[in-house]
């Protein structure tokens, strides 16, 4: 019985180096340059954005793309369905900064083609970098930062290193 525990302990020690955390201490904004496809889902209260709509949170889902320029800026778009309302959104003023702990701080505002003259945001997202430079995924979360702000989670996958 004792030898079984010793063998299990040796196996655990052999696996341990493979389970260490990713090191992003030498990463920069340049390492995230490229175009990403993204999708996610969550909840939003559209009445906070369009007062003529009924109050209350509704489910939403979205798909889109964004590009990072390697210097802390970028662009993007989102197609969203929220409670049956379709929105075509442009991300404006997008900025991002890589941190040594493998997190990414992203900020942007949104303008929906269906809501002329309305700017939503700025919105801040915290993303977590997963993978290697040539096969990145970014896991994201936003927890409503004000009236009408969405609460959602999503994932981005790099599809090109071109900006």
Contact 80, 71 (CB under 8 A): no
| pLDDT value at residue 148 | 59
Above 70 in pLDDT, residue 4?
A: no
Q: Does residue 28 fall inside a structural domain?
A: yes
Contact 89, 112 (CB under 8 A): yes
Q: Which domain holds residue 139?
A: 23-160
Question: How many whole angstroms separate alpha carbon 89 and alpha carbon 151?
Answer: 16
Q: Does residue 15 fall inside a structural domain?
A: no
Question: What is the overall mean pLDDT for the chain?
Answer: 83
Looking at the 3D structure of the chain, how many domains does it have?
1
Question: How many whole angstroms separate alpha carbon 38 and alpha carbon 36?
Answer: 6
Half-sphere CA count of 83, side-chain side, radius 13 A:
13
| pLDDT value at residue 87 | 92
Above 80 in pLDDT, residue 6?
A: no
| pLDDT value at residue 25 | 86
Q: Does residue 7 fall inside a structural domain?
A: no
- What are the tens digits of pLDDT across the range 134-162? 778 999 887 665 655 678 889 999 999 88
Average pLDDT over residues 83-91: 92
Q: Does residue 14 fall inside a structural domain?
A: no
Which CATH number do you get for residue 141?
2.40.160
Between vectors from CA 13 to CA 12 and to CA 18, what angle results, nearest 5°? 90
Q: Does residue 1 fall inside a structural domain?
A: no
Q: Does residue 46 fall inside a structural domain?
A: yes
Q: Does residue 69 fall inside a structural domain?
A: yes
Q: Does residue 16 fall inside a structural domain?
A: no
| pLDDT value at residue 147 | 57
| pLDDT value at residue 101 | 92
């Amino acid at each position: 019985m004792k030898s079984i525990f010793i063998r299990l302990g040796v196996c655990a020690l052999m696996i341990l180096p493979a389970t260490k955390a990713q090191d992003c201490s030498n990463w920069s904004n340049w390492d995230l340059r490229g175009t990403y496809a993204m999708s996610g889902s969550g909840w939003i209260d559209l009445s906070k954005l369009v007062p003529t709509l009924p109050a209350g949170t509704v489910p939403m889902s979205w798909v889109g793309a964004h590009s990072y320029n390697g210097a802390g800026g970028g662009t993007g778009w989102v197609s969203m369905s929220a409670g049956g309302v379709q929105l075509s959104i442009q991300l404006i003023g997008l900025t991002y900064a890589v941190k040594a702990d493998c997190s990414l701080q992203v900020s942007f505002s949104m303008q929906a083609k269906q809501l002329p003259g309305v700017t939503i945001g700025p919105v801040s997202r915290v993303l977590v970098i997963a993978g290697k430079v040539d096969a990145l995924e970014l896991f994201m979360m936003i927890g409503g930062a004000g009236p009408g702000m969405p609460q959602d989670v999503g994932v981005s996958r790099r599809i090109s290193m071109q900006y």
